[in-house]
A and B are shown apart, each in its own frame.
Chain A
Amino acid sequence: MIRFDSVTKAYPGTTRPALNGVSIEILKGEFVFLVGASGSGKSSFLRLILREETPTKGAIHVLGQHLNTLASRKVPYFRRNLGVVFQDFRLLPNKTVFDNVAFTLQVIGKSRGFIQEAVPDALKMVGLAGKSNRYPHELSGGEQQRVAIARAVVNKPAILLADEPTGNLDPATSAGIMTLLERINLGGTTVLMATHDAGIVDQMKRRVIELISGQIVRDERQGGYQTQAVPVQGFGRMAEEVAP
């Protein structure tokens, strides 16, 4: 579903690469946390999957597409299979909740009939069925993030990328968002979430990939935010690969 083969990403004009020789495979239906200190390369990892950036070295395959060689004009169509959520929600302030969610469907050319059905469904799923005529500034942060999630999943994407979706929310609200993401994952969507929230990671007991300075140092099934056991998969293999 998502595969990185020795991927290195060095931004132009920087000496230290944001990602350094990363190899990883994420399977369909998995729920994966991406943890690591600030600047360790989590957002870069997600941007590479979204094909907002291309790798400096190595190959990336997502949903059967080889992203290195994917033509620019095909990128929009590739992205229709992905949903994205950010820490800062990124809603359009002059559109209602309904229109914010509908917007993503309109711009990819969905019919009015499809939109009239899909948008209320998505809003109901995130628990905002009664607030579709509100504007973003009339919602709490948690509710705004729910709108953003509804927007990300309204087109039933195969993969949901979330970059610190609970970063601006209090623990109770965050828990609600996590329940929602879990539900979406149960529906078959692969969820990849970058986070600093130790409580959430420890509680969910899902796969955890930890990055330090752009390298994967841990890839643990049912892991926690901090290493509790000896890292199981991935780390050892990677150490071998890095060795000359």
Chain B
Amino acid sequence: MRLGLILGEVGNGLRRNVSMVISVILVTFISLTFVGAAILLQMQIGQMKGYWYDRAQVAVYMCTSLDTTGNCTQSEATQDQIDAVEAKLKSDALTPYIKKFEYENHEQAYKNFQAQLSDNPIASFVTPETLNESFRVNLIDPTEADILIESLSSMPGVQAVEDQRGYLDRIFAVLNAASYTAIGVAALMLIAAVLLIATTIRLSAFSRRRELGIMRLVGASNRFIQTPFILEGVFAALIGSVLAGLAIVGIVQFFVQGYLTTALQSTTTLVGLGDALVVVPILVVVGAALAAASAGVAISRYLKV
């Protein structure tokens, strides 16, 4: 009986405020979609870090006959110098940090280069001799690249020791910036959503002020007076959250899994439907909680006795 009465009040409120309710739905929809996108981006960054840091190598580039930087004097690294570096990598001082390493000579470097840049006109100007021979070292803990850099960069015949994580960190920085932008936009939109919900509820309360006055007069409890308004806000926000959830699932299904996966081939792992399904309940809970809180604050003015 009481539940029916409360739900009836909610229905009346929603009907009376259709345009406001629609704007609440749209604003929560868009803001929560941004929130979801930000969360997905963070998940993506996390996954890529796990994937790439594992594969990231420290490259020890040996001199070519063209190099003047590092310890190079425009002469090719000698076999002795190469052996010395290899011996150092196998020494007791460095082995504890190294998972494995392999040597890449001119021919292999050329092949890899051609494979990666086959579409690029530069590829046809490059000859095997201009590409550095290198040691590709996989570390047990990729954060310990400095040890290698320190002990190898001063060795004769070594042009440079490069931690490839540096490149990855730059990519992650870009992705991070994108996700922070999404969070910023989401925060602003959420503020708008909260204020809009509060305004909607206040309007709704104003249009029902006669009923509210009588309810207070005859002793309806605060909870009883409050509940329809809070439910009204939560209902509108829930529709927005569910739409945002659907949008997130759609983005992952059709854009990430459908488009990006084919576009990027299998060069990296991408967030999947499983991740999207983790995000959806977060959005729904955030939407409902924010709506309940702002509606509750908005209606409290009418409850003062």
Contact = CB atoms under 8 A, between A and B. Distances in A.
Contact of A84 (B5, B210, B217, B222): B217
Interface stretch (A10-18, A68-76, A190-198, A230-238): A68-76
A90 B210 contact: yes
Given A77-B221, A80-B218, A103-B214, 11 more contacts: A52-B305, A72-B305, A76-B221, A76-B222, A79-B219, A84-B217, A90-B213, A90-B217, A109-B2, A109-B221, A109-B224
Interface of A: 50-52, 72-73, 75-80, 82, 84, 90, 92-93, 103-104, 106-109, 111-112, 151, 155
Contacts of B140: none
Given A77-B219, A84-B217, A106 B1 contact: yes
Given A51-B305, A112-B1, A79 B218 contact: yes
A147 B216 CA distance: 18
Given A106-B2, A111-B1, A76 B214 contact: no
Nearest to B220: A107
Contacts of A112: 1
A75 B210 contact: no
A77 B216 CA distance: 10
A93 B2 CA distance: 21
A189 to B, nearest CB: 15
B211 interface: yes
A24 B222 CA distance: 31
A80 B219 contact: yes
Nearest to A155: B218
A62 B82 CA distance: 100
A92 B214 contact: yes
B215 A75 contact: no
Interface of B: 1-2, 5, 210-211, 213-222, 224-225, 304-305
Contacts of B215: 107
Contacts of A84: 217
A79 B220 CA distance: 9
A109 B304 CA distance: 20
A137 to B, nearest CB: 14
Nearest to A83: B218
Contacts of B218: 79-80, 104, 107-108, 151, 155
A112 B224 CA distance: 17
Nearest to A79: B219
User: For the complex, would chain B's binding face be called helix, strand, loop or mixed by DSSP majority?
Assistant: helix
22 contacts: A72-B305, A73-B221, A73-B222, A76-B216, A76-B222, A77-B221, A79-B216, A79-B218, A90-B213, A103-B211, A104-B214, A104-B218, A106-B2, A107-B215, A107-B218, A107-B225, A108-B219, A109-B221, A109-B224, A111-B1, A112-B1, A151-B218
Contacts of A103: 211, 214
A90 B305 contact: no
Nearest to A90: B214
B1 A76 contact: no
Nearest to B210: A92
Nearest to B304: A72
A73 B216 CA distance: 11
Nearest to B217: A84
A52 B1 CA distance: 29
A197 to B, nearest CB: 23
B35 to A, nearest CB: 35
Contact of A76 (B2, B5, B213, B305): B305
Contacts of B222: 73, 76
A106 B5 contact: yes
A42 to B, nearest CB: 18
Given A72-B305, A107-B224, A109-B224, A79 B217 contact: yes
Given A52-B305, A109-B224, A78 B214 contact: no
A72 B216 CA distance: 12
B219 A78 contact: yes
A109 B1 CA distance: 8
A150 to B, nearest CB: 12
A76 B1 CA distance: 20
Nearest to B12: A94
Contacts of B213: 90
Contacts of B225: 107
Contacts of A107: 5, 215, 218, 220, 224-225
Nearest to A110: B1
Contacts of B224: 107-109
A75 B217 contact: no
A72 B304 CA distance: 8
Contacts of A51: 305
Nearest to A82: B219
Contacts of A151: 218
A79 B219 CA distance: 5
A28 B305 CA distance: 25
Contacts of B219: 75-80, 82, 108
